[in-house]
Amino acid sequence: MNPIVRPDASTLQQAASILRAGGVVAFPTETYYGLAADPFNKGAVDRLYQIKKRSGALPILLLIQGQPQLSLVARTIPPPYLPLINHFWPGPLSLIFPALEACSSRLTGGTGTVAVRHSPHPIADQLVRAFGGPITATSANISGAPAAINAEEVNSFFSRQVDLILDGGDTPGGQGSTLVGLKDGLICCFRAGKIDFSLVQSVSASYNQSIS
């Protein structure tokens, strides 16, 4: 069986060490359980695709600890995103950024973009802090199947294929993060999720009125 552990300072450091060595760690978020790997380690990213049976055309979402870490993965921060970051982060809102060259085409699915969010879940946030940089946050599931909502489901899905499971109890499940990007310079919903897109539009509209 996989090692399922309750996270504390010691196990979070253990998880970070596993990630630095190219391993995969499962952890809870505000939506589902996710699979963490070092996004800049090609072997680790390849392993994610393999264990999820995921198409290489699909990009991998990243978690960061806050806006300063965006500079590690994004070429720019589009101005329309600033009020959304200030209002919804940490939270289940993923934003699509132009990716730095450091983000491999394997990670971006060949799109040249990278989706990023700051999770409010304390274990997810502490894992990013312990690792010291962005981590992957693809859902813990076989591609196309429902995502795991607890450590036991992660274990049943992947058996010995992940190196550590941080057990944070049940997660809410339901919808994933809302995925927002730009189309013709305007914010656009690419995937419905926990945050209703009408709320995103409202925050954006209020910001635009304040600067007009």
The pLDDT score that the predictor gives to residue 210 is 65
Q: What is the CATH number of the domain that holds 163?
A: 3.90.870.10
Count of the separate structural domains present in the chain: 1
The pLDDT score that the predictor gives to residue 56 is 82
Rounded CA-CA distance 90/6 in Å is: 23
Q: How many residues does the chain have?
A: 212
What is the DSSP code string of 16-77? HHHHHTT--EEEE-SSSEEEE--TT-HHHHHHHHHHHT--TTS---EE-SSGGGGGGTBS--
- Nearest residue to 24 via CA among 159, 120, 147, 149: 159
The string of pLDDT tens digits covering residues 42-54 is 999 999 999 999 9
Q: What sign does the CA torsion over 69, 71, 74, 76 have?
A: positive
The string of pLDDT tens digits covering residues 87-113 is 999 999 999 999 999 999 999 999 999
The pLDDT score that the predictor gives to residue 159 is 83
The pLDDT score that the predictor gives to residue 154 is 97
Contacts of 167 (CB under 8 A, 6+ apart): 4, 5, 6, 7, 28, 150, 151
Give the residue ranges of the chain where pLDDT is below 50. Answer: none
| Tokens read off for 140 | 């813990």
CB atoms within 10 A of CB 5: 16
The residue behind tokens 């300072």 is: 9
Which structural domain, as residue segments, surrounds residue 151? 4-211
